[in-house]
Amino acid sequence: MRILTRQLTQHVGQKVSVSGWLHKKRLMGGLTFIVIRDRSGVAQALIKDKAEVEKLRGLQVGTVLQIEGVVAEDSRAPGGVEIHEVGLKIEVPVEMEPPIEIDKPLSHESDNLDTLFEYRVVGLRSPREQAVFKVQAEIGEAVRQYFRRSDFTEIRTPKLLAAATEGGAEVFKIDYFGKEATLAQSPQFYKQMMVGIFERVFEIAPVYRAEPSATTRHMTEYISADGEMGFINIEDLKKFLSGLLNAVADDLWEYCPGQLNEWGATKPVLPKEIPSLSMAEIHQKYTEATGENTVGEKDLRPEEERFICEYAAKNLGSEAVFVTDWPADEMKFYHKAQDGRTEFADRIDLLFRGVEIATGSMREHRYDVVMKQLQSMVGADPEDPGFKYFLLAMQAGMPPHGGFGMGLERLTQKMLGLSNVKEASLFPRDINRLAP
RNA sequence: GGGCUCGUAGUGAAGUUGGCCUAUCACGCCUCCCUGUCACGGAGGAGAUCGCCGGUUCGAAUCCGGUCGGGCCCGCCA
């Protein structure tokens, strides 16, 4: 019966069988050490029998094999146990020399990312690479649990859409049986429509952006964690996001200490309520600090995002910060302007460790107003199938509501301290990579 | 889309004000030695027409032009 490598300590003195991949071999004359990898980790086996060692001749790392032997405690063995009196059974011999070495850290230098992604199917076998995605899986789990604890219903919305979309980012156009369709750049309209049904909904799913961006923080396909809820205001949204980010960090450092340590990650300093700074304040502080005048600009420069995160870490005891008071003339048609301060959108961006990881806003829930905004801001036809059903949902009765979208890979990147968001994607898609 | 920058064995790097390059090193790979390795160690070996095309020159990895492929920043965004 097969056991996992992590279970060896429970079987000292017993004969066991483990299965996995050859991860490393060290031939030392009369002694041969091999390391076997399975889903639970790695373990060492000590082989003395020359005939057993000969079975490995010509076989490379990656060879699938089964090891039978007796578990022995030995302080010289990694982890204190190893397998002795080994009998090997080669399940799948691998003679191909791996294009990259997975038993030591892979280079994540920006110049070498192309190699990293080109050989991704092999490189991900490295325990250190796996750690990134174990962490990402845990983040997804923590996010899901937080939503569910907060009484959200998980939804699945279509990614194939009729042509019209929310505007802003470019969309991918595809041929749909002779008609033009687009790939969803966000679940925006659907999650809002679903507020009229479940009140609180969330989705964790891929979205597509046809932006020709070539930066360390953009991909053309990424996973968005979207939430939307009714009967709230912008302060409720901030509280929710503060709690969410804290919950993710707490969960991660409780359940993934090994993986986080692999990347030298440090737990983010986050107060219970993440502090807010208005865009005007940030421009002001940046201008004072650098002499570079950004006062009056309608967006934050990436340099300002990094600056204000450092400022918040140093002065506000928080590695995350909300940016508030975005100019209303830049807002999207479904956004809501602030009550009594109509020159500002009721919008927040969540900056974490120098990048924007989430954008949230209150939505315009009044049918006649959102209709007017659609026409004046987008110049769109309300009968267009891309907008028609969204408008119907508003007309059918929508409470004040708001929500946000958060980039899962960006969050993973920043939790681990990776320099490029693509490192936090199994198979990143960008302007010039569609495979593997 | 704009700016800057890079391309040398399977991988990572050195060499790039032209000649001493018949291209150096490390990891990996092959053969042999090695009974406690864990980035094992030791001896030997194979592997690169220096991204591609053209040009300048007695001579090009090195200079020039083109081309293909990357990267970083900006714009835009999560």
Q: ipTM of this model?
A: 0.88
* pLDDT tens, position by position, A174-213: 889 998 899 999 999 999 999 999 999 999 999 999 988 8
* pLDDT tens, position by position, A135-183: 999 999 999 999 999 999 999 999 999 876 665 568 898 889 998 899 9
Residue A61's nearest nucleotide, by CA–C1', is B28
- Cα–Cα separations (whole angstroms), residue A263 to A100, A130, A131, A252: 20, 11, 8, 13
Mean pLDDT for the stretch of residues A321-349: 94
Mean pLDDT of chain A: 94
Residue A35's nearest nucleotide, by CA–C1', is B38
Q: What Å value separates CA A424 and C1' B2?
A: 28
Listing DSSP states for A329-366 in one string gives GGS-TTB-EETTEEEEESEEEEEETTEEEEEEEEE---
d(CA A229, CA A195): 6
Residue A212's nearest nucleotide, by CA–C1', is B1
The residue that minimises its CA distance to C1' of B40 is A26
Residue A31's nearest nucleotide, by CA–C1', is B35
Q: What Å value separates CA A27 and C1' B11?
A: 22
Mean pLDDT for the stretch of residues A264-282: 96
- pLDDT for the residue numbered A220: 94
Strand B nucleotides below 7 A of a protein CB?
Answer: 1-3, 6, 10-13, 27-31, 33-41, 69-78
Q: What Å value separates CA A99 and C1' B9?
A: 12
**Pair A423, A114: CB distance under 8 Å:** no
Residue A207's nearest nucleotide, by CA–C1', is B78
Residue A75's nearest nucleotide, by CA–C1', is B36
- Band of pLDDT at residue A379, cut at 50, 70 and 90: confident
Q: What Å value separates CA A29 and C1' B43?
A: 15
Q: What Å value separates CA A100 and C1' B17?
A: 36
* pLDDT tens, position by position, A66-109: 999 999 999 999 989 999 999 999 999 999 999 999 988 999 99
Q: What Å value separates CA A145 and C1' B6?
A: 45
Q: What Å value separates CA A198 and C1' B56?
A: 74
- pLDDT for the residue numbered A285: 95
The residue that minimises its CA distance to C1' of B73 is A215
Mean pLDDT for the stretch of residues A296-324: 95
Residue A104's nearest nucleotide, by CA–C1', is B39
d(CA A75, CA A77): 5
Is the pLDDT reported for residue A364 higher than 60?
yes
Mean pLDDT for the stretch of residues A18-34: 95
Bridge partners of A181, per DSSP, are: A162, A174
d(CA A167, CA A430): 20
For residue A390 the two structure tokens come to: 């969204």
The residue that minimises its CA distance to C1' of B39 is A104
The residue that minimises its CA distance to C1' of B6 is A111
For residue A170 the two structure tokens come to: 């470019």
Q: What Å value separates CA A304 and C1' B33?
A: 61
Mean pLDDT for the stretch of residues A34-47: 96
* pLDDT tens, position by position, A384-412: 888 999 999 999 999 999 999 999 999 99
Mean pLDDT for the stretch of residues A286-312: 93
Q: What Å value separates CA A427 and C1' B4?
A: 28
Q: What Å value separates CA A33 and C1' B36?
A: 9
